[in-house]
């Protein structure tokens, strides 16, 4: 098996001619072009990114990659030139560059860790890896014990010189994705919505506010229903003329500083171009105008962090509002160094998790999450959905298996979760509903669930036709692997068991207090059936209820009803966020994040 840290054009041609399979970490632009060219001749390339779905277990892989990336980022020699760029651009560029490099290093190191585990699980497969030796010293010795290793230096000349093309690329980007109109918001509450759920949340929380403006990132506007756009008067976020002029000047300053500090910046090659491209996209997402409060729900990336810096630059503030329990993985690399001015916390878990990820955010007001308090309005449609579930359940015990979705990262444990669902559905007095993720899977997985559950009459596959909370009243026990949705039903009082298929007990921070609700793969079936057969007041069920109470109090604050939740959230924000004004936002430097 061949592994390429960076798949190039020559590798694509070789794989196409030899008919070999390969895994890669990064794919170059030349490789993408080569794939199209060989396709013209009827050849195909069997190469894709390797992921956790290719492994049976992943014990501490994320942890080790994360810690190694932290060690490297602390030693990174970039302070002088990044501070110069930051002074010229008026943003904390040192933060953004280190965050970007951390992301890249984590993905690189995770690739090495996955290869080591893959080789361990497949001892009869000969593995050969071609890697870039930069920052790889901590892994080369281990990799050589299980693989044939070819080391090469990363090409720097063309990558470095690509920054000279930034002004031209910026102009082309503005012509394609920009707007000559200037759409200012001044002293307003600005809510970014990108789908029906975020639109529903912000419209419910800020209903009746006079100065609310709804916006959507232009690249994601297609995902927002047309009726929602019309009803809420949602504006597209595009790079406007002032933003373009700012970036045009910034590009020349950036080029000049890079050339003047060539010794420091040379090792980063083409990443210098990509970092500035990220700034272009981020500036387009920062709504124009002074003194705004910008509210979002998202998974933060470096681009989002840069957008927050541009909002601060204009005297605004960024606020994260949790749609759901937001229990992201403990070593989710893109969430290091978060820089929201305020991050509303779904529960105590939020502040502890992100403080451990070197957050620059200082304010974590306890607000709870929207989904934990969302009003489940009675409607004929909801009544019909619940009636269908009730008819399917009959007099049986209903176990609802919540799927995290099928994709390359989840493939191996999703197979095992579905096999467990099928096995449970064969037990006397038990029926199983499978709640699929309400988005279509990739085409190659389109028949995955139908094929694996075919012939199991006591198993019901459900999709986007059901709201997650339709299952609450009908379900006796929820079972999942790593689905965040299971935490949302848990906060609504459901009994949930989680299965650690990848043998990675540090995957979630809150798993440390999961107690009997966290199962190993080997004991999962027996423990679930012990709960089924235990009776209402038995010790197994009593222990699970106790564990659920402990987990619930850690991951989510609860209020009596939606109005109480809303009043608390608005009161918390009112104390921290009087509408910002130019110069009203305190300075925050990033140095402490890297000590």
Residues 364 and 415 in one domain: no
Residue 242 within a domain: no
Is pLDDT above 90 for 499? yes
Question: Which residues form the domain of 324?
Answer: 187-228+292-372+562-594
Residues 318 and 458 in one domain: no
List the structure tokens of 327: 């229990």
Each residue of 412-467: pLDDT tens digit?
Answer: 999 999 999 999 999 999 999 999 998 889 999 999 999 999 999 999 999 889 99
Crossing angle (nearest 10°) for helices 137-146 and 93-121 = 10
Strand, helix or coil at 213? strand
List the structure tokens of 414: 């999703």
Q: Per-residue confidence at 594, pLDDT binned at 50, 70, 90?
A: very low
Residues 142 and 200 in one domain: no
**Residue 330, pLDDT score:** 95
**CA–CA separation, 241 and 382 (whole Å):** 47
Residues 575 and 532 in one domain: no
Residues 127 and 204 in one domain: no
Residue 281 within a domain: no
Query: Residue 304 is part of a domain; what is its CATH number?
Result: 3.40.50
Show contacts of 262-270: CB within 8 Å, 24+ apart: 262/160, 264/77, 264/78, 264/80, 264/81, 265/78, 265/81, 265/160, 266/156, 266/160, 267/134, 267/156, 268/101, 268/160, 269/154, 269/155, 269/156, 269/159, 269/160, 270/158, 270/159, 270/160, 270/162
Residues 535 and 576 in one domain: no
What is the DSSP code (8-state) at residue 468? G
Is pLDDT above 90 for 302? yes
CA dihedral 381, 385, 387, 389 (to 10 degrees): 180
Residues 566 and 543 in one domain: no
Mean pLDDT of all residues belonging to the chain: 92
> Is residue 505 within 8 Å of 62, Cβ to Cβ?
no
Each residue of 502-551: pLDDT tens digit?
Answer: 999 999 999 999 999 999 999 999 999 999 999 878 999 999 999 999 99
Q: Per-residue confidence at 332, pLDDT binned at 50, 70, 90?
A: very high
Residues 145 and 107 in one domain: yes
**Residue 592, pLDDT score:** 38
Q: Per-residue confidence at 588, pLDDT binned at 50, 70, 90?
A: very low
Q: Per-residue confidence at 26, pLDDT binned at 50, 70, 90?
A: very high
Query: Residue 437 is part of a domain; what is its CATH number?
Result: 3.40.50.2000
Kindly report the backbone phi and psi dihedral angles of residue 76, in degrees, each rounded to the nearest multiple of 5, phi listed first.
Answer: -65, 125
Mean pLDDT of 69-75: 92
List the structure tokens of 334: 């893109």
Q: How many domains does the chain have?
A: 3
Residues 362 and 386 in one domain: no
Is pLDDT above 80 for 184? no
Mean pLDDT of 329-335: 95
C-beta neighbour count of 31 within 10 angstroms? 22
Q: Per-residue confidence at 208, pLDDT binned at 50, 70, 90?
A: confident
| pTM score of the predicted model | 0.92
């Amino acid at each position: 098996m061949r592994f390429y840290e960076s798949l190039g054009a020559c590798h694509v041609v070789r794989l196409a001619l030899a008919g070999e399979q390969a895994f890669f970490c990064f794919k170059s632009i030349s490789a993408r072009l080569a794939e199209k060219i060989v396709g013209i001749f009827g050849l195909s390339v069997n190469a894709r990114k390797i992921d956790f779905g290719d492994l049976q277990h992943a014990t501490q892989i994320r942890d080790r990659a994360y810690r190694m990336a932290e060690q490297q980022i602390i030693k990174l020699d970039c302070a002088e030139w990044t501070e110069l760029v930051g002074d010229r651009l008026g943003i904390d560029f040192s933060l953004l560059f280190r965050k970007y490099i951390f992301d890249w290093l984590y993905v690189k190191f995770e690739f090495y860790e996955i290869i080591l585990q893959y080789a361990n699980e497949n001892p009869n497969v000969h593995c050969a890896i071609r890697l870039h030796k930069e920052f790889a010293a901590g892994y080369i010795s281990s990799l050589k014990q299980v693989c044939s290793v070819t080391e090469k230096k990363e090409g720097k000349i063309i990558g470095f010189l690509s920054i000279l093309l930034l002004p031209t690329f910026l102009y082309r980007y503005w012509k394609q994705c920009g707007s000559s109109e200037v759409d200012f918001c001044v002293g307003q509450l600005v809510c970014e919505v990108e789908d029906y759920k975020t639109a529903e949340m912000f419209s419910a929380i800020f209903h009746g506010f006079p100065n609310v403006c709804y916006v959507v990132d232009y690249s994601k506007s297609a995902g927002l229903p047309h009726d929602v756009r019309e009803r809420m008067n949602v504006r597209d976020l595009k790079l406007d003329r002032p933003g373009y002029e700012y970036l045009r000047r910034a590009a020349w300053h950036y080029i000049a500083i890079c050339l003047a500090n060539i010794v420091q910046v040379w090792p980063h090659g083409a990443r210098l171009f990509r970092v500035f491209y990220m700034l272009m996209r981020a500036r387009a997402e920062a709504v124009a105008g002074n003194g705004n409060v910008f509210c979002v729900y998202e998974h933060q990336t470096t681009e989002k962090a840069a957008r927050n810096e541009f909002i601060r630059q204009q005297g605004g503030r960024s606020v994260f509002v949790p749609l759901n329990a937001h229990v992201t993985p403990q070593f989710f690399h893109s969430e290091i160094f978060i820089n929201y001015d305020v991050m509303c916390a779904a529960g105590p878990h939020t502040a502890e998790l992100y403080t451990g990820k070197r957050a620059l955010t200082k304010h974590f007001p306890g607000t709870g999450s929207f989904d934990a308090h969302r009003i489940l309005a009675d409607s004929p449609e909801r009544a019909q959905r619940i009636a269908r579930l009730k008819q399917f359940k009959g007099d049986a015990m209903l176990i609802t298996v919540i799927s995290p979705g099928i994709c390359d990262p989840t493939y191996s444990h999703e197979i095992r979760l579905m096999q467990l669902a099928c096995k449970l559905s064969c037990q006397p007095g038990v029926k199983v509903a499978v709640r699929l993720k309400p988005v279509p899977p990739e085409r190659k997985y389109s028949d995955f669930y139908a094929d694996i559950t075919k012939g199991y009459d006591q198993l019901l596959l459900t999709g986007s036709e059901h709201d997650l909370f339709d299952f609450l009243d009908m379900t006796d026990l929820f079972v999942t692997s790593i689905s965040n949705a299971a935490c949302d039903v848990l906060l609504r009082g459901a009994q949930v068991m989680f299965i650690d298929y990848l043998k990675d007990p540090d995957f979630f921070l809150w798993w440390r207090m999961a107690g009997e609700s966290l199962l190993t793969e080997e004991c999962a079936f027996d423990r679930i059936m012990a709960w089924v057969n235990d009776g209402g007041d038995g010790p197994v069920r009593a222990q699970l209820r106790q564990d659920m109470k402990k987990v619930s109090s850690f991951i989510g604050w609860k209020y009596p009803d939606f109005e109480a939740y809303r009043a608390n959230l608005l009161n918390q924000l009112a104390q921290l966020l009087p509408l910002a004004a130019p110069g009203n936002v305190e300075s925050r430097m990033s140095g402490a994040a890297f000590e």
